[in-house]
């Protein structure tokens, strides 16, 4: 099932796609939807010694390296890194870079970065060299919380000695730049309570800014789509379907062109269901000849402690097969094993 077919069905039936908390003892408690949890009986010194042995063994024991990396959460990996450097005098990242090759090297180094530094690395990679990877810029900024965006900006400045806003201004242009800078301001409403009057008002504003006017008032779209919460926008999309003869994504597709169209449609997708957005990303990475390994690494690493379980559920619902089945079909050897490890028990 395509993303937008599912989107349309949920708009019509007024369903809330994401439930992120449950009631425990009268209080709403966040639900853990990740696939990588803290390892019980964790011992950083023991893990550092195991990794050192695996790296220095004849031929390198990739299986041992993988089993440690995918079964420890990021906080535990940071402790292993610190102990490894203290005991060997060499950084674990440098040791793995020397020992591993290709995609396994890339994903192992990604797993050793903190989430903020990994995000900074993704945005730097998307903006350096010839051409800009607009999809990655939008993906990261549209799916991170205000705090995560603030943290990644600090990490970017620390790692590359540049302000991310300046890089975005240099590497992009027009309305697309305006939308990215709006997301970088990190002032999105994160209250999960929905204001139905505002949803109706925003739906009317979006209709007037697009379908009901000559030309398009893009700034109105950017302002609403980058500052409202996901639940608030979901209700706005439902109201829009009452105001207009078409859904908001369809209207954006008709009214806009180029990077800004893709950007705003992705923001709509993320607001409605971030797990479904990522499920579609993963499917597209493997649906044609050749596999986009960078996408598999980026999504599985960044979402493994957030909502990868929900992404796996959405993948199965949308494509009638599991993500693991497609990973087995499209990848091989140690890279396949580490991807499956991040997906958790099958």
Q: What's 332's DSSP letter?
A: -
As a whole number of Å, the CA-based R_g of the chain is 21
Mean pLDDT of the 189-210 span? 94
CATH 1.10.220.10 domain extents, the chain: 3-25+189-272, 44-112, 115-184
pLDDT digits (tens, 9 = 90+) for 52-79: 999 998 889 999 999 999 999 999 999 9
For the chain, the straight-line distance linking the first and the last C-alpha, in angstroms and rounded, comes to: 22
pTM comes to 0.92
List pLDDT tens digits, range 207-218: 999 887 777 899
Q: Residue 22, SS3?
A: strand
**How far is residue 242's CA from residue 232's CA, in Å, rounded to a whole number?**
16
Compute CA 83 distance to the chain's CA centroid, rounded to the nearest angstrom.
29
Asked if residue 11 has pLDDT above 60, the reply is: no
- Distance (Å, whole) CA 336 – CA 158: 33
More confident residue, 166 or 18: 166
Asked whether residue 126 carries a pLDDT value surpassing 80, the answer given is yes
Superfamily of domain 115-184 in the CATH hierarchy: Annexin (1.10.220.10)
Q: Domain 44-112 sits in which CATH superfamily?
A: Annexin (1.10.220.10)
When the candidates are 3.90.580.10, 3.40.50.2000, 1.10.220.10, 3.40.50.11030, the CATH number that belongs to 3-25+189-272 is 1.10.220.10
Share of the chain above pLDDT 90, in %: 79
- Residue 79 CB contacts under 8 Å (≥ 6 apart), including other chains: 42, 44
Q: Residue 306 gets which letter from DSSP?
A: T
**148 contacts: CB under 8 Å, gap ≥ 6:** 115, 116, 119
- Per the CB < 8 A criterion, the answer to whether 303 and 73 are in contact is no
Q: Which residue has the tokens 């993704």?
A: 122
């Amino acid at each position: 099932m395509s993303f937008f077919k599912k989107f349309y069905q949920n708009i019509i039936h007024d369903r809330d796609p994401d439930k992120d908390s449950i009631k425990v003892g009268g209080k709403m408690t966040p639900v853990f939807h990740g696939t990588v949890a803290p390892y019980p009986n964790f011992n950083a010194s023991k893990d550092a010694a195991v990794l050192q042995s695996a790296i220095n063994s004849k031929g390198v024991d990739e299986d041992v390296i993988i089993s440690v990396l995918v079964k420890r959460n990021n906080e535990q990996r940071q402790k292993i890194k610190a102990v490894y450097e203290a005991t060997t005098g060499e950084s674990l990242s440098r040791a793995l870079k020397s020992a591993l090759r290709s995609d396994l090297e890339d994903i192992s180094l990604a797993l050793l970065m903190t989430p903020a530094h990994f995000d900074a690395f993704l945005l730097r990679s998307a903006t350096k060299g010839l051409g800009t990877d607009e999809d990655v810029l939008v993906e990261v900024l549209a799916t991170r919380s205000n705090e995560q965006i603030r943290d990644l900006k600090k990490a970017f400045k620390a790692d590359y000695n540049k302000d991310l806003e300046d890089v975005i201004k240099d590497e992009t242009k027009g309305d697309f730049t305006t939308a990215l800078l709006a997301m970088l301001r990190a002032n999105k409403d994160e209250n999960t309570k929905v204001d139905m009057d505002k949803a109706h008002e925003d739906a009317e504003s979006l209709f007037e800014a697009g379908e009901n006017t000559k030309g398009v008032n893009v700034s109105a779209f950017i302002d609403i789509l980058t500052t409202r919460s996901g639940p608030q926008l979901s209700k706005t999309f439902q109201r829009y379907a009452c105001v207009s003869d078409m859904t908001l994504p369809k209207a954006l597709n008709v009214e806009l062109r180029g990077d800004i169209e893709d950007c705003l449609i992705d923001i709509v997708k993320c607001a409605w269901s971030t797990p479904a957005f990522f499920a579609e990303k993963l499917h597209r990475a493997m649906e044609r000849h050749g596999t986009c390994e960078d996408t598999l690494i980026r999504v599985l690493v960044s979402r493994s402690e957030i909502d990868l379980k929900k992404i796996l559920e959405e993948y199965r619902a949308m494509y009638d097969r599991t993500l693991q089945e497609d990973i087995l079909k499209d990848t091989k050897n140690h890279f396949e094993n580490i991807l499956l490890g991040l997906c958790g028990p099958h």
